[in-house]
Structure 1
Amino acid sequence: MTDRTSERTPDETPKLKEYEGEGITVTFEPRRCLHAAECVHGLPEVFDLSRRPWVLPDAAEADPVAEVVRRCPSGALQYHPTDGSVEHPDAPTSVRRTPSGRLVVRGDLLVSGALGDRHETRAVLCGCGASGNQPYCDRSGPCAEPDDDVPEAR
């Protein structure tokens, strides 16, 4: 397992951390993380914030790791199986607005922003216009208020 971090300048592709395992590679984009904690609650043996590296993809089988990564609402966590398969987007595409204004979207997405177009399967988009990571929510505006984003409501 390796932990590779791609350092980029602010006007290039966002910082991405890559954690390689035997059957699956997990990537993490810190700026998109909204701390929903689906990962650490779903597979604490793989995702443990108290250790470095905090992601150990080989601590569980690849399928459960992929399942837990798919629970990440913001898309900060992504996975890439070593067999070349890809994450299939939810169908139909869904959009849910939280009381604080965030837009939780899942499906076959093309998200356009300052860094160009990105194909996504999961994202939490800014609904208040105050995010410093547009179009993604970073909770820097009214979205910083605690709200309904309860796993049961997803």
Structure 2
Amino acid sequence: MTEGTAGPGAEPPIAEKPRIKEYDGEGITVTFEPRRCLHAAECVHGLPEVFDLSRRPWILPDAAAAERVAEVVRRCPSGALQHHPPQGGPEERPDVPTTVRRSPAGQLVVRGDLLVTGEHGVRHETRVMLCGCGASGNQPYCDHSGPCAEPDDDVAEER
């Protein structure tokens, strides 16, 4: 048996719960799940005063109007960024109708009222980029570890 493999009858390793960071503002809370980020850069290009990778914290929700922050967060194709009112009000509204498209690299870009089953059970989602090649270590989400690691595979103008 090699290191990292389980012998017969051993229980599979328990998946680590997704790490989600919260950035609270007066009118909006932005959450970020680093493992799902595919670096489409919609956030940093859309509102550099709010999303700045050279700063800590890198997200300042109050640096722009809450409506504008929500608009830019909704551009995040992977769903790594989400938003909600700071007092636990209604979550982000899903796109209607639900849409599915395949990116040039093979991922499935899905937007709508979604239930996604993964290693942590069922999650309610509004935007996801699902692995289309089977190589992701973050199934069912794409993590660019397989052939879908092509640059510029999610171009805003094509949405």
Task: Please report the TM-score for the alignment, with normalisation by the length of structure 1.
Answer: 0.90
Matched, 1:45 2:49: yes
Structure 1 counterpart of 2:156:
151
Larger radius of gyration: 2
Alignment partner, residue 127 of structure 2: 122
Tell me which residue corresponds to 1:63. 67
- CA-based RMSD of the aligned residues comes to 1.2
TM (normalized to structure 2)? 0.88
Indicate whether 1:16 and 2:24 are aligned.
no
Unaligned runs of 5+ in 2: 1-13
Cα distance change, pair 87–152 in 1 and its aligned pair in 2 (3 A): same
Would you say the 8 A contact 1:98–1:147 is kept in 2?
Answer: no
Runs of 4+ residues over 4 Å off in structure 1: none
Q: Which has the higher strand share?
A: 1
Listed as ranges, the gaps of 5+ residues in structure 1 are 1-9
Q: Give the C-alpha shift of residue 147 in structure 1.
A: 4.8
In the TM superposition, residue 100 of structure 1 has moved relative to its aligned partner by: 1.2
Counterpart CA distance in 2 for 1:139 and 1:12 is 19
2:5 aligns with none
Per the alignment, residue 82 of structure 1 pairs with: 86
Check if 1:131 corresponds to 2:123.
no
Identity in percent: 79
Instruction: Choose from 94, 99, 102 the match for 2:99.
Output: 94
Mapped to 2, the partners of 1:113 and 1:148 lie a distance apart of 23
Q: Report the Cα distance in structure 1 between the residues aligned to 2:85 and 2:116, rounded to whole angstroms.
A: 23
Q: Could you say which residue in structure 2 is the equivalent of 1:6?
A: none
> Is the contact between residue 19 and residue 56 of structure 1 (CA under 8 Å) also seen in structure 2?
yes
